[in-house]
Every structure is written in C-alpha cells, then in structure tokens.
C-alpha cells in the first residue's frame, strides 16, 4: 500500500485532567502544611530581648496566646481587650477545652508581653489564668545575639 506524502498532519489532543489533578493536590498539600505560627504574632507588641530566649522545640499542646500591650490592654484573638474583661475570655477557653474532654491545666498559655509593658500587668494576666484553672505558661522574648 502506498502512502500519500502531502496529507494533513494528524491532530493530537492532550488530556489536561491529570495535570489539573496534580496541581490541586499540590495546592491542598501546601495549604495543610502551612505554618500558622506566624498568625499569633502582632506588630503592636515589641518583645523584650534576651540572650537566654530560645525557640520552642515543639509546638505546645492546646496553645492559648495572650499579648500584653504597653498601654495595659491585652490582645486576645487579634483584638485588644481591657485587662479586667480577660476573665470572661479565659472562661470561654476553659469551657471549650472541657467540652473537648480536655483539662484547662493541660493547655499552654503563651504570653507575649510588650517590652515597655509594666511587669505587674503580666503578673495580673498569669493570676487571671490561674483562677480559671490554667497551669502551664510560656513567656516569649526576642533572642538577642551575644556581642
């Protein structure tokens, strides 16, 4: 059988479905592995520096992040609240933990105090947490390289 030499080139259709599937799987992977620890940082808080500060080895269990501003207010869930109202927010956290079958004493309260905040404000915050049954605390500072 003879072939014709001057015919049209054959059309090739590319199935894009596998490529789209892989793309969505990669997007899903990166969303699930995204580090949300940056979300608890707030630019309104300027941490004090310390040469003894070191990064945590592992994330604490059930973290609750509270931040003390220099004006004496606390930041809870990204919103500034008066220190006298923090007990109500801590009570809500306690109820959520109890509903999940966890004890408040097992949760870790991360306190980020502004370097210019009064020390007494941090102490008041720790006391309010203890009154609601929280027992584990982590105080944050910014690492300062020794000279």
Rounded (5°) CA angle 128-132-133: 115
Distance CA 45, CA 124 (A): 18
Instruction: Write down the domain spans for the chain.
Output: 42-143
The structure's pTM equals: 0.60
Using 50, 70 and 90 to split pLDDT, how confident is the model at 55?
Answer: low
Residue 38 is predicted with a pLDDT of 47
- When comparing pLDDT for 21 and 14, which is higher? 21
């Amino acid at each position: 059988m003879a072939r014709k030499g001057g015919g049209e080139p054959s059309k090739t259709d590319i199935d894009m479905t596998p490529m789209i599937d892989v793309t969505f799987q990669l997007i899903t992977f990166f969303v699930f592995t995204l580090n949300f620890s940056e979300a608890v940082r707030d630019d309104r808080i300027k941490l004090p520096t310390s040469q003894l500060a070191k990064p945590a080895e592992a994330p604490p269990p059930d973290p609750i992040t509270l931040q003390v501003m220099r004006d004496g207010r606390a930041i809870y869930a990204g919103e500034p609240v008066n220190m006298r109202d923090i007990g109500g927010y801590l009570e809500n956290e306690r109820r959520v933990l109890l509903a999940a079958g966890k004890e408040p004493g097992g949760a870790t309260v991360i306190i980020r105090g502004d370097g210019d905040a009064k020390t007494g404000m941090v102490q008041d915050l720790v006391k309010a947490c203890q009154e609601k049954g929280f027992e584990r605390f982590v105080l944050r500072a910014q690492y300062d390289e020794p000279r």
